[in-house]
Amino acid sequence: MNFAALPNLLALAVLVGVFRAISRKDASQQIQLWLLGWILVLVHFAATLPVPTDEFWSRFATGMAVGALILASVTFLISVVAVAYTRSRQVGLALTISVPALAYACGAIWGVDDPKFYYLLIAVGTLGPLFLIWRYHRKDRLYAAGMMLVSLLMAAVIAREVATGNPGLGIVSILAALNFAAGVLYWKQHRRSTAGVLTAVGGFVLWGAVFPTAVLLLLFRPAVKVDSEVWNIPKYLVAVGMILTLLEDQINKSRYLAYHDDLTGLPNRRLLEDRLDQALAQAKRIGGKVAVFVVDLDHFKEVNDNFGHRVGDVALQQVAVRLGNRLRASDTLARSGGDEFTVVSQVSGEPASLALLTALESALSDPLVIEDKEVLTGLSIGLALYPDDGSDADQLCAAADRGMYASKRLGRNPGVNVTIRHLTT
């Protein structure tokens, strides 16, 4: 029994339990793949626990350990390169990478001597990923070219090892390449210099470096002995980095939701108040004007009653997009209520506010189409203009709100500014 592997086995069992608990709270594909990857690493350590005396079982245990490690590396790679892929694409990519790699490893472990066997697997294991990279990423030419170049270089390195009669070193190259690629793609996915991302990326890079480093020490410094715990540090760095990344994502999401509507992604009332205060402060400095529009959907309750709340939610999302398409980048569109939106826009004067009003009125000139259904609803809009209708945010919002309700009572949108002004004063 290899008792030296027992601490790592216990540590990995705890780690799998942690990711299992996380996956129960967040069942995203990426976390499920991370959980699977750590289960496979656990299998790797379990396979190193027994010490068989028979050659057959020794090779079998080695094959299990190496195979589990290759599959774990492929799983981590898939989790970051194909996070937006469909499940079928993920499975296809995983098979394209793992089947040739596993076959190569099994051949080297069981002593296959025919170089043609390895060359065939190298060709299959290279051409498959090259095809998928080109098919799915050809629009990003720089990324696709880089990945294809690295794949070809790795194939050349492994082929050289086969040619020199050392196919076993190809396993080292495969494991190193998979972990290096996982680190690069982890960075590409997150693109931020936070503790979690840097720890995970550094862990993957070190994990990949472990394999060639161990071979080089064995060849050139055989007297140097490195404890297994040292070699396994990169694995735990990756795990810590993943957990920290999830924590950072949750913090960012909570911070985002504190200022944005979860359904539409628009600023919520809290952020709206801040944007309106900023617009008024700037208008006061330069002597400009600020238009505040309160936009309410007509008969939206009937939409929910007739089609269900799911269709109603999609309708709100489509309305948000249509209103946003009629605004400038400097304008603010917020969801200020259930079916109510507020627009804040710095305008040059009354004609500009009228033009924006007309644009907003036209947002629902065409019916919403949801699940092959035409959803007919209209808009009631109230307008207040700073400083004509109010000198602060509360006065302007109240004036625009009164104008919106007056418009709703009339059953139509006010078409001219003088009417709106009269209704809001």
Are 332 and 276 within 8 A, CB to CB?
A: yes
**Predicted pLDDT of residue 13:** 93
Tokens, residue 179? 């972990």
Q: Are residues 248 and 278 in the same domain?
A: no
Q: How far apart are CA 255 and CA 239, in angstroms?
A: 24
Question: CA dihedral defined by 137, 140, 143, 147, rounded to 10 degrees?
Answer: 30
Nearest in space to 166 (alpha carbons), one of 99, 115, 220? 115
User: Both 278 and 143 in a single domain?
Assistant: no
| β-pair partners for 260 | 267
- Inside any domain, residue 262: no
pLDDT in tens, the chain (425 residues): 777 778 888 999 999 999 999 999 888 889 999 999 999 999 999 998 887 888 888 999 999 999 999 999 999 999 987 555 677 778 888 899 999 999 999 999 999 999 999 999 999 999 988 887 787 777 878 878 888 888 899 999 999 999 999 999 999 999 999 999 999 889 988 989 999 999 999 999 999 999 999 999 988 888 888 887 889 999 999 999 999 999 999 999 999 999 999 999 999 999 999 999 999 999 999 989 999 999 998 888 888 887 788 888 999 999 999 999 999 999 999 999 889 999 999 998 888 988 999 899 888 888 888 877 777 788 899 999 999 988 899 999 999 999 998 888 876 443 333 223 333 33
For residues 400 and 317, membership in a common domain is answered with: yes
On whether both 213 and 324 belong to a single domain, the answer is: no
Instruction: Give the H or E element holding residue 263.
Output: none
Residue 201 falls within a domain, yes or no? yes
Run of H or E residues at 101: helix 87-109
**How far is residue 72's CA from residue 7's CA, in Å, rounded to a whole number?**
19
- Bond from prior residue into 212 cis (ω within 30 degrees of 0): no
Spatial separation of the C-alpha atoms in residues 209 and 176, rounded to whole Å: 6
Secondary structure element (H or E) that encloses residue 369, with its range: strand 368-370
Residue 264 domain-assigned (yes or no):
no
The alpha carbon dihedral of 122, 124, 127, 128 has a sign of negative
| Residue found by looking up tokens 């697997």 in the block | 121
State whether 70 and 181 are in the same domain: yes
> Rounded to whole angstroms, how far apart are CA atoms 180 and 201?
9
Structure tokens at 318: 């489509």
CATH of the domain at 332: 3.30.70.270
Is residue 70 in some structural domain? yes
Which amino acid appears at position 33 of this protein? L
- Domain residues for the domain of 411 are 269-424
For residues 418 and 91, what is the distance between their CA atoms, to the nearest angstrom?
63
Q: Are 332 and 419 in contact (CB under 8 A)?
A: no
Residue given tokens 């090259």 in the structure block: 130
Whether 9 is covered by a domain: the verdict is: yes
Task: Give the pLDDT score at 135.
Answer: 78
Beta bridge partners of 295: 341, 381
- Residues 419 and 381 sit within 8 Å (Cβ to Cβ): no
Q: Tell whether 49 and 187 lie within a shared domain.
A: yes
Within-domain flag for 232? yes
Of 211, 237, 257, the last residue of a domain is 257
- For residues 214 and 70, state if they share a domain: yes
Residues 288 and 230 in one domain: no
The partner residues of 332 in beta bridges, in order of sequence, read: 344
Residue 140, H or E segment: none
pLDDT (0 to 100) of residue 409:
81
Given a contact cutoff of 8 angstroms between Cβ atoms, the answer to whether 279 and 346 are in contact is yes
Query: Do residues 216 and 339 both lie within one domain?
Result: no
The sign of the CA dihedral 111, 114, 120, 122 is: positive
Report how many domains make up the chain: 2
Q: For 351-360, which contacts have Cβ atoms below 8 Å and span 24 or more sequence positions?
A: 352/291, 353/289, 353/291, 353/383, 353/385, 353/417, 354/416, 354/417, 356/291, 356/293, 356/326, 356/327, 357/293, 357/381, 357/383, 357/413, 357/417, 357/420, 359/326, 359/327, 360/293, 360/295, 360/323, 360/326
Rounded Cα gap, residues 124 and 144, in angstroms? 18
The pLDDT of residue 419? 29
Q: Is residue 141 part of a domain?
A: yes
Residues 177 and 120 in one domain: yes
Q: Are residues 288 and 219 in the same domain?
A: no
Question: pTM of the entire structure?
Answer: 0.79
Of 103, 147, 141, nearest to 124 (Cα)? Answer: 103
| Tokens, residue 184 | 């690069």
> Is the residue at 263 inside a domain?
no
181 with 298, same domain?
no
d(CA 201, CA 101): 23
Last residue of a domain, one of 210, 228, 257: 257
CB 154 within 8 A of CB 211: no
Domain boundary residue, one of 223, 257, 291: 257
With CA atoms as reference, report the closest residue to 125 among 149, 163, 148, 97. 97
